[in-house]
């Protein structure tokens, strides 16, 4: 389990507001150098920046809502900042500020402030509303809430984004003169320009050796990835069920997620819950963590709660594997993302392969109204963000080359059958 949970009292960490720090970081090319050496991003392209520039010229308050496929995304926003000639504010998970004084200071200098994702952080929400309504800089919030490693697939969005946008719109409408709040979805897509066969073999061989297998190089790449992924899923099924399960890949994933969450929900909440995985996980964390942070429980109870948190982490990771991600379009980048995710979930680390190009595509402005249509079952603003983002991502996905067409056509029926996908 990665260190995303901080076992100490939360303290809100504000952003630095001076324009000097972002200007200086751009001057020394910090985003470029960091992304090249730490994330393997060597090229970038900005599209649709004219939409953002038009909103800036109109003096609108601007909320930027990107998808979140990689840990590189927040720093990559620096490319957009430079292209649009504006500084940015950003809401960032508190655990990112807990890796030393220098790291925390740099994040704050770049315009980020903390949010406690394991509870209701009213100070972070109020700060976001104040910064957005002021219109001083665009505010960046990643509505998926966590990295996914699935650049072509948008996971469930957090409704808090709409609350912040509407509260800012209401506040801005009362200013003199009144102003608008708009949302610009930003599609983030990474294209791998290296040798997929070599990169994949390195990672898959390490995983196979951990499984005590011989490297499965006799298989084509898609079949090898499928076999490795199913093996790791089967091991977890044996751990929690005592045996492997039947059904389609989607059914098996959901069955294991429920096996992880329902006993914890019954214990901590009194009954099993419904809905998507991430909100269920976060609700449980808000129940488990407070006494751990307050240091009011015994060592054995603390150890038990850490086991519960590990199960929650596993459930959230399982939920970020779209069952048909590879079988609908076996592109170079989807294959690489899946391999990286398998390695990351197994070892908590992911090899940097380099040769990545990031594309940031800005969508047209979505005007925010101060009031929500209560008759709508789905928040209209969140629906508009989701549809705009997914539409851009669907088009960007076509720029990623598909695994050799003839090979894919020959092996995909077998791969689909092996994972139970039609």
Residue 418: its pLDDT value, please? 52
Residue 1 domain-assigned? no
Question: Is there a single domain that holds both residue 174 and residue 109?
Answer: yes
Residue 277 pLDDT > 50: yes
Question: Is there a single domain that holds both residue 103 and residue 207?
Answer: no
Check: CB of residue 68 under 8 Å from CB of residue 32. no
Residue 129 domain-assigned? yes
Question: Is there a single domain that holds both residue 345 and residue 363?
Answer: no
Question: Is there a single domain that holds both residue 140 and residue 217?
Answer: no
Residue 380 domain-assigned? yes
pLDDT (mean) for 295-305: 94
3-state secondary structure the chain: CCCCCCCCCCCCCCCCCCCHHHHHHHHCCHHHHHHHHHHCEEEEEEECHHHHHHHHHCCCEEEEEECCCCCCHHHHHHHHHHHHCCCCEEEEEHHHHCCCHHHHHHHHHCCEEEECCCCCCHHHHHHHHHHHHHCCCCEECCCCCCCCCCCCCCCCCCCHHHHHHHHHHHHHHCCCCCCCEEEEEEEEEEEECCCHHHHHHHHHHHHHHHCCCCCCCCCCHHHHHHHHHHHHHHHHHHHHHCCCCCCCHHHHHHHHHHHHHHHHHHHHCCCCCCCCHHHHHHHHHHHHHHHHHHCCCCHHHHHHHHHHHHHHHHHHHHHCCCCCHHHHCCEHHHHHHHHHHHHHHHHCCCCCCCCEEEEEEECCCEECCCCCCCCCCCCHHHHHHHHHHHHHHHHHHCCCCECCHHHHHHHHHHHHHHHCCC
Q: How confident is the model at residue 414 (pLDDT cuts 50, 70, 90)?
A: low
DSSP strand pairing (61-66 vs 139-140): parallel
Question: Is there a single domain that holds both residue 345 and residue 356?
Answer: no
Residue 417: its pLDDT value, please? 55
Question: Is there a single domain that holds both residue 139 and residue 234?
Answer: no
Cα 315 to Cα 80, 236, 261, 273: the distances in Å are 33, 11, 7, 14
Question: Is there a single domain that holds both residue 335 and residue 357?
Answer: no
Residue 409 pLDDT > 60: no
Question: Is there a single domain that holds both residue 25 and residue 102?
Answer: yes
Question: Is there a single domain that holds both residue 299 and residue 220?
Answer: yes
Residue 107: its pLDDT value, please? 93
Q: How much of the chain, in percent, has pLDDT values that exceed 90? A: 79
Q: How confident is the model at residue 377 (pLDDT cuts 50, 70, 90)?
A: confident
Q: Is the peptide bond before 148 cis (omega within 30 degrees of 0)?
A: no
Question: Is there a single domain that holds both residue 228 and residue 133?
Answer: no
Residue 407 domain-assigned? no
Cα(407)–Cα(392) distance, integer angstroms: 28
Residue 248 pLDDT > 70: yes
Residue 187: its pLDDT value, please? 98
Task: Please give the residue that has the higher pLDDT: either 100 or 50.
Answer: 50
pLDDT (mean) for 195-205: 95
Which positions ≥6 away from 224 have C-beta within 8 Å? 200, 204, 216, 217
Q: How much of the chain, in percent, has pLDDT values that exceed 70? A: 95
pLDDT (mean) for 362-373: 93
Residue 101 domain-assigned? yes
Residue 177: its pLDDT value, please? 84
Residue holding tokens 């989607």?
250
- If you compute the radius of gyration of the chain from its CA atoms, what whole number of angstroms results? 22
The pLDDT tens digits for 102-127 are 889 999 999 999 998 877 789 999 99
164: CATH? 3.40.1130.10
Cα 407 to Cα 13, 220, 224, 412: the distances in Å are 52, 9, 13, 8
Residue 83 pLDDT > 60: yes
Structural domains in the chain (count): 2
Residue 137 pLDDT > 70: yes
Domain of 288, in residue numbers: 196-350
Residue 406: its pLDDT value, please? 47
Check: CB of residue 117 under 8 Å from CB of residue 83. no
On average, the pLDDT of the chain sits at 92
Residue 370 domain-assigned? yes
Question: Is there a single domain that holds both residue 341 and residue 370?
Answer: no
Residue 420 domain-assigned? no
The pLDDT tens digits for 381-392 are 999 999 999 999
pLDDT (mean) for 343-360: 94
Residue 411 domain-assigned? no
Question: Is there a single domain that holds both residue 267 and residue 172?
Answer: no
pLDDT (mean) for 301-305: 95
Cα(167)–Cα(247) distance, integer angstroms: 45
């Amino acid at each position: 389990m990665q260190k995303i949970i901080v076992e100490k009292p939360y303290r809100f960490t504000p952003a630095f507001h001076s324009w000097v720090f972002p200007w200086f970081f751009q001057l020394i090319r910090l985003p470029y150098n960091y992304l090249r050496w730490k994330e393997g991003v060597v090229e970038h392209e900005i599209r649709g920046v004219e939409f953002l520039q038009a909103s800036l010229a109109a003096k609108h308050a601007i909320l930027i809502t990107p998808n979140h496929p990689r840990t590189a995304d927040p720093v990559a926003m620096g490319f957009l900042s430079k292209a649009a000639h504006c500084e940015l504010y950003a809401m960032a998970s508190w655990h990112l500020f807990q890796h030393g004084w220098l790291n925390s200071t740099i994040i704050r200098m770049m315009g980020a402030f903390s949010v406690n994702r394991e509870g209701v952080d009213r100070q972070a929400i109020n700060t976001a509303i104040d910064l957005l309504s002021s219109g001083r800089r665009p505010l960046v919030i990643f509505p998926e809430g966590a990295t996914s490693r699935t650049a072509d697939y948008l996971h469930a969005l957090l409704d808090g984004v709409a609350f912040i946008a509407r509260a800012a719109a209401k506040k801005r409408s009362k200013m003199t003169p009144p102003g608008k709040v708009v949302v610009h979805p930003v599609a983030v897509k990474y294209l791998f320009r290296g040798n997929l066969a070599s990169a994949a073999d390195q990672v898959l061989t390490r995983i196979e050796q951990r499984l005590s297998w011989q490297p499965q190089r006799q298989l084509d790449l898609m079949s090898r990835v499928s076999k490795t992924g199913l093996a790791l899923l089967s091991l977890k099924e044996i751990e929690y069920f005592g045996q492997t399960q039947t059904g389609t890949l989607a059914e098996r994933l959901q069955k294991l997620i429920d096996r992880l969450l329902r006993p914890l929900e019954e214990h901590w909440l009194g009954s099993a819950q419904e809905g998507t995985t991430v909100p269920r996980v976060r609700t449980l964390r808000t129940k488990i963590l407070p006494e751990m942070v307050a240091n009011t429980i015994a060592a054995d109870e603390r150890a038990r709660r850490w086991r519960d948190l590990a199960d929650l982490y596993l459930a959230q990771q399982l939920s970020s594997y779209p069952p048909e991600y590879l079988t609908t379009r076996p592109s170079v980048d989807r294959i690489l993302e899946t391999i990286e995710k398998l390695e990351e979930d197994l070892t908590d680390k992911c090899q940097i392969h380099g040769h990545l190009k990031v594309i940031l595509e800005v969508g047209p402005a979505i005007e925010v109204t101060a009031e929500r249509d209560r008759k709508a079952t789905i928040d209209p603003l969140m629906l508009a963000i989701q549809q705009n983002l997914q539409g851009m991502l669907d088009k960007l996905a076509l720029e990623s080359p598909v695994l050799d067409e003839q090979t894919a056509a020959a092996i995909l029926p077998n791969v689909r059958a092996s994972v139970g996908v039609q």
